[in-house]
Amino acid sequence: MNVEQKEPARGGAIETREIVAGFDTREVLHGISMQIQPGQVTALIGPSGCGKSTFLRCLNRMHELVPSAFIRGSVQLDGQEVYDPELDPVFLRRRVGMVFQKPNPFPSMSIRDNVLAGLTLTNRLKASEADLLVERALNQAALWDEVKDRLKSPGMSLSGGQQQRLCIARSLAVDPDVLLMDEPCSALDPIATARVEDLIQSLAGDYTIIIVTHNMQQAARVSSRTAFLLSGELVEFAETNTIFTSPRDQRTEDYITGKFG
Amino acid sequence: MPDLKSHTDKIFDKELAEVSHRIERMGTIAGDMLAASVRAFNTRNTTLAREIMDEDTQVNRLEKNIDQLCLEIIAKRQPMASDLRFLVLVMKAVVDIERIGDIAVNVSERTMDLSRGALTGSWEELSEMGAIVLSMVRDGMRAFVESDEVLACEVLKRDAEVDRLFVKVFADLIELMGNRPDVINLGIHVQSVAKWIERAGDHAMNLAEYAIFRVKGHDGRHAGRS
């Protein structure tokens, strides 16, 4: 458990204060305050419907994309208010990338174009710059050696695990500080899962990673801190080793030992 | 006290209950062996001593059997928190219980040797030590199986008296052997018995410490010495 992580070389500190969020009249999060250290892997665990994914989406303002969504409270990224009306959400989402449950490469694009997709929306790149970026991002995502000879093949031609690493490469290509991962391995086989977990640990230190997972062993393996959410409340947030060996709160104990409900 | 809340997967509850049942049984057999070995020593009962030596195979078999069961559950369930602590501590506790069984055998072997010699009678302090250690083994086991932290702390407190008695027995034997060189060989056997019984007390302490770790979730062993 808990690979020792490097000192962060960059930003990516997140602080939430009393986040209250939901849809229409239904409140999903009832006031979540957390301090997430830069360069660390933080796992969010909890039963379905506890608000993990909603919380994750509040961090890069994806929650507000749902028409009925509401949010109150504060999210700060390196001291800057994420919900500042002056802040461009598109810019924010470049600093705070997201990887989803199901790999979602753009179907009509090649592997190379998928990696560059986030950049070409806002930047004009020379071909040589683009080549370097593609190689760097695919290397970071531990996919380069597997795809370097077929960069023009469709992204969809890759296996599920490779597609997920391609999506991670796409997120990394825009040089974010934070990566949000919403059950990134739930659609992958054990070998592909191990590759993604290995990747998460190799990215720690350089990026702040927040991962939502239902797989508690995965949370125990990859994260240094773990938060347990229940019914929209933060029950316990502590060192991962503590959470999985001697949690303080009986509700955490009941959940991780399978006595919940 | 035991966590009465059950797992969503009821089969997991049954598996943990089976581990608990088996280690309790192993502890009972080893405790009974130790009690009988002290009794056999005090009365120089070689028949009883021989029976104890035969019983050790049961304890050894249970040690392997419980270890295997724990391994299977860990592989299958990937337990967490109190379940993980319980299974890991069981795998440690079986080593201590098996050693208690071995000690009963060692004491029985010495009884056989002593029965052929001239050094008869029992030592009051040694009997007293045996009684305390026996209570420590039984209560240490109960504290572990029932997650009884209070009882475990009681067990830990009893060790000081065992140590005091051991020092007394040891000193008395040195004095006796100094006065009677003809019983030196046998005196060494009695000293060994005292040492074995004192060691059984240490294993009972380990069981009590596991009980506390199981309940509190932090390892209090070697407090102030590590």
Nearest CA in chain B to A257: B80
Predicted local distance difference test score (pLDDT) of residue A8: 47
Give the per-residue pLDDT at B195. Answer: 96
As for the ipTM of the complex, it is 0.76
> What mean pLDDT comes out for the span B80-84?
94
How would CATH label the architecture of A14-104+178-256? 3-Layer(aba) Sandwich (3.40)
Asked if residue A5 has pLDDT above 60, the reply is: no
Closest residue in chain B to residue A241, using alpha carbons only: B81
How many angstroms separate the CA of residue A30 from the nearest CA in chain B? 27
Residues of A with CB under 8 A from a CB of B: 216-217, 220, 244-247, 252-254, 256-261
Query: Residue A4 has what pLDDT?
Result: 46
Residue/partner pairs of A74-77 with CB below 8 Å, 24 or more apart: A74/A15, A74/A16, A74/A17, A74/A18, A74/A19, A75/A14, A75/A15, A75/A16, A75/A17, A75/A19, A76/A14, A76/A15, A76/A16, A76/A17, A77/A11, A77/A12, A77/A13, A77/A14, A77/A177, A77/A178
A246–B217 C-beta distance less than 8 A: yes
Domains and CATH numbers, chain B: 10-216 (1.20.58.220)
Q: How confident is the model at residue B224 (pLDDT cuts 50, 70, 90)?
A: low
Distance separating alpha carbons of residues A18 and A16, to the nearest angstrom: 7
Res. A58 pLDDT band, cuts 50 70 90 = very high
Higher-scoring residue by pLDDT: A260, A4: A260
Per residue in A188-220, pLDDT tens?
888 889 989 999 999 999 999 999 999 999 999
Chosen from A252, A254, A259 to mutate, greatest number of chain B CBs within 10 A:
A259
Mean per-residue pLDDT, B136-157: 97
B147: distance to nearest CA of chain A, Å?
15
Residue B47, pLDDT above cutoff 80: yes
Give CA–CA dist A95/A75, Å, rounded.
Answer: 14
Q: What is the pLDDT of residue B2?
A: 45
Domain ranges across chain A: 14-104+178-256
- Please compute the mean of the pLDDT values over residues A126-144 and round it to a whole number: 92
